[in-house]
Structure 1
Amino acid sequence: MTATAQLAPPPPAQQAALLEASGIVLRYPGQPQPVVETFDFALEAGETVSVLGPSGVGKSSLLRVLGGLQKPTAGAVMMNGKPLQGVSPRVSIAFQDASLLPWLSLEKNVAFGLNFKHQPELTSEESKARVDVAIREVGLTHARRYFPAQLSGGMAQRAALARCLARNPEILLLDEPFGALDEVTRTEMQHLLLKVVHNFHTAAILITHDIDEALLVSDRILLLGGAPARIIGEWRIDLPTPREDYIAELGAIRVEILSRLRGATQRRVH
């Protein structure tokens, strides 16, 4: 009997990254050199990536490009394999300032924008359900009728995060949203971020100047440095969360990041 050859199944098609930046250059008019140059990056579904770097290196400018708020001078940003043309309804952005509208209650602030033109059309029942889930997820059900003047700093940031979540995003872009909070509240918000990323199956990019924050919440850390800015270091954190019990492991990575960060800062000064 002659054996018959078995055809191997074809290899699975490589899935495009959720968000991918290729050859990004950002230059402002009148400046002698770009703010950001040759930036290449890929964000996978469910991944949290923190971006560290010296003050003024261009972290926030880069986030605006990745979020479709600003067009790069060169290069391209792709989402789900397609060019990102402006702001996507599948991307939510939160800044250090919660930017709540003072004349609207918390629940109306969370709902604000759900009926904008670029958003998917929702019935009133669907909108209410999204708002209810988002408010509950950030622990503010008791304060849904409060106005922004009645909220603490931490509550305001929770409301801003709920507003992002109500859009059911695939990606959260966070520009130092916890930077103005006290240490205890900041820690609570870091734990909340871990929870909502898991529960909503979203990916996140966090801009932060806090190395410890990046170590506690990130799957991956990128360090920007130089002038113009580019990636000068990358670390993958393969530790379970919460990570407060992994001080020794995180400490070694912290020293390495801090050393690289100091070197980048000194080069910018000189």
Structure 2
Amino acid sequence: MTAIESEGTVAPAGNGNAMIELAADGLGHAYNGRDVIERIDFEVRRGEFVCIIGPSGVGKTTLLRCLAGLQRSTRGSISVRGNTVTEPVPGVALVFQDYSRSLMPWASVLHNVMLPLRANGKSKAAASEASRNALRLVGLDDTAARLYPWQLSGGMQQRVAIARALAYEPTLLLMDEPFASVDAQTRADLEDLVRNLQRELSLTVVLVTHDIDESVYLSDRVIALSGKPARVEEIVDIPLGNDRDQISTKSTPEFAAIRAHVHSLIRHGAPLAPTSGNA
């Protein structure tokens, strides 16, 4: 039994169990009659970490917004746990790229995290407790909770945005290039944070990125998009194990080979043939 079939490419089952968390079936979207994405088909099993990668402007954010139910696809369908997505659904949280716009500057860190919980009817006490717990998960203490977003570094602000998503207790976490606006060291720290939280909390994560190293390092599988309109070029298994490290993992020949393969997919639309003498 296969986990994914896409554009004639079949990938073996991933690390999750048999429950399908998210599925896209013939998904397409057009703006003003112009196709942006077409014939997108994939499934994500519960507990998997999947990265969607492609060149800038290929339609990654459009795809993620459709998956989140923030906009209706113009063709095909999306389902989460067997239910067709036509609007945002319970159990799905989204972390945006621009944390400075997603956080309310006039509200404290704690109240930023509490906001969606209060909007969903949680009592103030319950929302506060859940929000403080979520902040601790991302390494922010009660002192940070009393500050305002503009008093924090960019990396800490993105931790707040991640905490707000976690406080919602999702099973499916969607992330739109969440580390694109921070420096390299902070990016590495946040990558490890999200990967550890995904395993600790048994989350299913779908993360959109344009960074090839990030996609290979984080995920169980990479969905490589290319073309205009965008299509799934290939779904690549990442057999690097669960115990990954920013330095040692990225120094291995296996990492380098997978990175080169993914690079060729999004740049050329097909894997490059090996040159003579190379594996």
Task: Give the TM-score normalised by the residue count of structure 1.
Answer: 0.87
**Residue in structure 1 matched with residue 83 of structure 2 by the alignment:** 82
Q: Is the 8 A contact 1:216 1:241 kept in 2?
A: no
**Residue in structure 2 matched with residue 7 of structure 1 by the alignment:** none
- Listed as ranges, the matches of 1:66-77 within 5 Å are 66-77=67-78
Greater strand proportion: 2
**Which piece of structure 1 moves more, 95-104 or 234-243?**
234-243
Q: Is the 8 A contact 1:217 1:241 kept in 2?
A: no
Aligned-partner Cα distance in 2 for 1:160–1:74: 31
Aligned-partner Cα distance in 2 for 1:89–1:230: 28
Residue 195 of structure 1, CA deviation:
1.4
Q: Is the 8 A contact 2:132 2:145 kept in 1?
A: no
Where in structure 1 are there 5+ consecutive unaligned residues?
A: 1-13, 266-270
The one-letter code sitting in structure 2 at the alignment partner of 1:259 is S
- Listed as ranges, the matches of 1:1-270 within 5 Å are 16-31=19-34, 34-98=35-99, 99-116=102-119, 119=120, 121-141=121-141, 142-239=143-240, 240-243=242-245, 244-246=247-249, 247-264=252-269
The one-letter code sitting in structure 1 at the alignment partner of 2:243 is T
Where in structure 2 are there 5+ consecutive unaligned residues?
A: 1-16, 271-279
Aligned-partner Cα distance in 1 for 2:227–2:64: 17
Aligned-partner Cα distance in 1 for 2:19–2:268: 34
**1:78 match: secondary structure:** strand
Residue-by-residue CA offset, 1:108-140 (whole Å, 9 max, x unaligned) = 001111132xx4x43333322211210000011
Residue 15 of structure 1, CA deviation:
5.1
Residue 165 of structure 1, CA deviation:
0.3
Aligned-partner Cα distance in 1 for 2:164–2:239: 30
**Which piece of structure 1 moves more, 182-191 or 227-236?**
227-236
The one-letter code sitting in structure 1 at the alignment partner of 2:256 is G
Task: Give the TM-score normalised by the residue count of structure 2.
Answer: 0.85
The one-letter code sitting in structure 1 at the alignment partner of 2:25 is S
Identity of aligned residues (%): 39
**Which piece of structure 1 moves more, 55-64 or 244-253?**
244-253
Aligned-partner Cα distance in 1 for 2:149–2:123: 26
**Which piece of structure 1 moves more, 256-265 or 209-218?**
256-265
Aligned-partner Cα distance in 1 for 2:114–2:199: 22
Aligned-partner Cα distance in 2 for 1:150–1:89: 31
Aligned-partner Cα distance in 2 for 1:154–1:181: 6
CA RMSD between the two structures = 1.6
**2:118 match: secondary structure:** coil
Which has the greater radius of gyration?
A: 1
The one-letter code sitting in structure 2 at the alignment partner of 1:242 is R
